[in-house]
């Protein structure tokens, strides 16, 4: 006896409904597959974390020298910070390397003014980053040698400005309100930053993510396997029905 379309639709709708009990049965029935997928993903994550630890870079220290550029007015430097930086990078640091027979790296940076009315900082930083067990003295010698040329140049400009104003006192103002402040090294090769190894934290994060991903993939594998089994069962039922007709 053939079923009416409404009865067939109701039966198919009932077949498509999945209860929590059905979900629990799927998870229990597929626990072996879930365990295999979970273990494979976690093992892969742990292997990657181990490789990360084995290839981790050594800790490094940063030695920073602070150079304060002098003022010829309360808001105008003896020389623009960009010009001083260019002189250091292109001339004075290479010359200091040749003089000291050093190949130490030096990065030069400063805080740039965002607008013309902003005072900003007059500090230029020389930063040398080296392995943690490297001595400080060669870095200090290189920084000091490079900056000595800048200081000599600025002292000449400073002396000329003071002579023109007729005021020889450091920090004194002339009749036009100009304030003369010389350039100077305020801090020489100080250990300002220690790059601690974060690989342990990275390894923990990798393992944690692998556990989470393993659980998600295990659930997906269980439901996918159940779906494949249901499709096969449906094909078998259709084949049996075709044989009985």
pLDDT at 90: 94
Residues 223, 22 contacting (CB under 8 angstroms): no
Cβ atoms of 224 and 102 within 8 Å: the answer is no
Give the pLDDT of residue 10: 53
- Mention every residue, 6+ apart, whose C-beta is less than 8 A from residue 10: none
74-96 in b/e form (b: 16+ CB < 10 A) is eeebbbebeebbebbeeebbeeb
Low-confidence ranges of the chain (pLDDT < 50): 1, 7-9, 12-14, 115-117, 168-178
Q: What is the pLDDT of residues 4-43, one digit of tens each?
A: 555 444 554 445 556 778 888 888 888 999 999 999 999 9
The pLDDT of residue 216:
94
Bridge partners of residue 60, in order along the sequence: 131, 195
φ, ψ for residue 176, nearest 5 deg: -85, 0
């Amino acid at each position: 006896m053939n079923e009416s379309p409404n009865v067939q639709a109701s039966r198919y709708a009932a077949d498509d409904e999945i209860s929590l009990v059905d979900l629990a049965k799927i998870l229990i029935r597929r626990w072996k597959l879930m365990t295999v997928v979970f273990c494979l993903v976690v093992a892969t994550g742990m292997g990657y974390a181990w490789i990360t630890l084995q290839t981790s870079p050594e800790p490094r220290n940063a030695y920073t020298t602070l150079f304060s550029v002098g003022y010829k007015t309360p808001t105008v430097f003896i020389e623009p910070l960009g010009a001083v930086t260019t002189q250091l990078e292109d001339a004075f640091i290479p010359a200091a390397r040749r003089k000291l027979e050093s190949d130490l790296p030096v990065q030069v940076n400063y805080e740039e003014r965002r607008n013309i009315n902003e005072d900003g900082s007059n500090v230029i930083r020389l930063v040398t980053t080296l392995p943690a067990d490297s001595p400080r003295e060669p870095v200090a010698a290189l920084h000091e040698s490079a900056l000595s040329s800048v200081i000599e140049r600025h002292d000449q400009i400073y002396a000329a400005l003071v002579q023109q104003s007729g005021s020889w006192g450091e920090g004194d103002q002339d009749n036009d309100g100009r304030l003369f402040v010389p350039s100077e090294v305020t801090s020489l090769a100080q250990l300002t930053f220690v790059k601690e190894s974060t690989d342990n934290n990275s390894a923990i994060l990798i393992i944690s993510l692998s556990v989470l991903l393993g659980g998600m993939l295990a659930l997906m594998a269980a439901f996918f396997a159940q779906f494949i089994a249901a499709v096969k069962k449906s094909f078998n039922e259709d084949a049996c029905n075709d044989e009985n007709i």
